[in-house]
Each structure stands twice: as C-alpha cells, then as structure tokens.
Amino acid sequence: MHTLPSLASADPGEPSELELDRPALERALGEQLNVLLSASRALVVEAAATFHPELPPAAFHIAHRLWAFGATKVSLVAEAVAMDRSATSRLTARLTECGLIVARPDPADGRGTVLDLTELGRIKVDQAMARKSSVFRKKIETLSYPELQLFTDLLGRFNNRASYGTAP
C-alpha cells in the first residue's frame, strides 16, 4: 500500500500535491477503499467464528439477516444474502442442527418455509455483533465529532452515488 501524501499543503494558498494530480488521488482513494473492504471481510469472518466456530461465515450471514429483519421465507433469505437456494438450504440445515435457527411452515402458504432464530441463535448473533461493534468503535474512537460527521457524510454521499457492476 502506498503512503498517502497529505491533502494539506505547506502554504494555505497553494494546492496540495494530491490536488494537482486527481488520478493519483482517485487511486489513493481506491486503495483506501480496498483496505476498508478487506478489513470488513476479515471482521465478518471473525464475527462468524464468534457466532459458531464450526460453521462457515455464510451461515452467519443467514443468521444475521434473521437477527436484523426477523423471521423470513427461505427464498427471501437466499436472495438477501446472495446465495443460491440449495446453498442456503444446506446452511439452514446445519444452523438447525446446531439449534441456532428453526424452520416452520409459512403460515401464509403452508408449502413454503419460514426461518427464524432460536433464543440461542439470538444470543450467539448478539455476541458476534458485540465483538464486531467493539472493533469498529476502536477504529473510530480517535476521530473528533466533526471528523466523524464529515466521514459519515462523505461516505453516505459516495454510497448513494455508487452503482456497482454497471458502466458509467
């Protein structure tokens, strides 16, 4: 990873090194976003291990989805976590065997299945999310309130403009 030159110049009236080279600034931003995404993936893997060390991280994604949004049809869970239905079914079977989720007939359509966390599943997701949150809070604890506000605003603007996987 390259060292990022400062955005501030020595002379307040002069542009900084990066302000003169927008492509370099864009590359530096891309590098920082890659670092952020890699760290985020690693943190999810760590949270998944906290959730259940013998299950793959994808199982944690299913449990987290149920934790965040409540009981849901298998097909909607598969779509939400971007997994095919057969992979979701295999993982939900493992989660059920571990006592972390329960599958019930869909009350609106008896042919479908609705998944929900068990009490143990909720406790385990809570523990994993607490671990994930503590790592995140540690990363931002040195930011002042105005810095945190600016970072949040800029990231929100970036995310609202992003269109992944499509040409400009």
Tally of domains in the chain: 1
| Residue 103: both structure tokens together | 């599958």
Q: Confirm whether 164 is domain-assigned.
A: no
Question: 85-97 vs 57-69: helix axis angle to the nearest 10?
Answer: 80
- Residue 168 pLDDT > 70: no
Give me the pLDDT at residue 55, please: 95
The verdict on pTM exceeding 0.85 is no
d(CA 135, CA 35) in angstroms, rounded, equals 15
Please answer whether residues 62 and 81 qualify as being in contact, where contact means their C-beta atoms are separated by less than 8 angstroms.
yes
Residue 66 is part of a domain; what is its CATH number? Answer: 1.10.10.10
- Residue 167 pLDDT > 60: no
Please state, in angstroms and as integers, the Cα–Cα distance from residue 141 to each residue in 38, 47, 131, 154, following that order: 20, 20, 15, 18
The predicted-structure confidence for 55-67, as pLDDT tens digits, reads as follows: 999 999 999 999 9
Question: Which residues, 6+ apart, have CB-to-CB distance to 102 below 8 Å?
Answer: 96, 115, 116, 117, 118
| Residue 12: both structure tokens together | 């307040």
Mean pLDDT over residues 145-158, rounded? Answer: 94
The predicted-structure confidence for 1-29, as pLDDT tens digits, reads as follows: 445 555 554 565 666 665 678 898 899 99
Q: Confirm whether 160 is domain-assigned.
A: no
Q: Confirm whether 30 is domain-assigned.
A: yes
Please answer whether residues 74 and 92 qualify as being in contact, where contact means their C-beta atoms are separated by less than 8 angstroms.
yes
| Residue 6: both structure tokens together | 């400062």
Question: 22-51 vs 57-69: helix axis angle to the nearest 10?
Answer: 90
| Residue 143: both structure tokens together | 């930011």
Give me the pLDDT at residue 1, please: 46
Top-confidence residue, 75 or 10: 75
Three-state secondary-structure class, residue 118: coil
- Residue 51 pLDDT > 70: yes
Top-confidence residue, 18 or 88: 88
The predicted-structure confidence for 96-130, as pLDDT tens digits, reads as follows: 999 999 999 888 887 888 999 999 999 999 999 99
What is the extent of the structural domain holding 125? Answer: 22-136
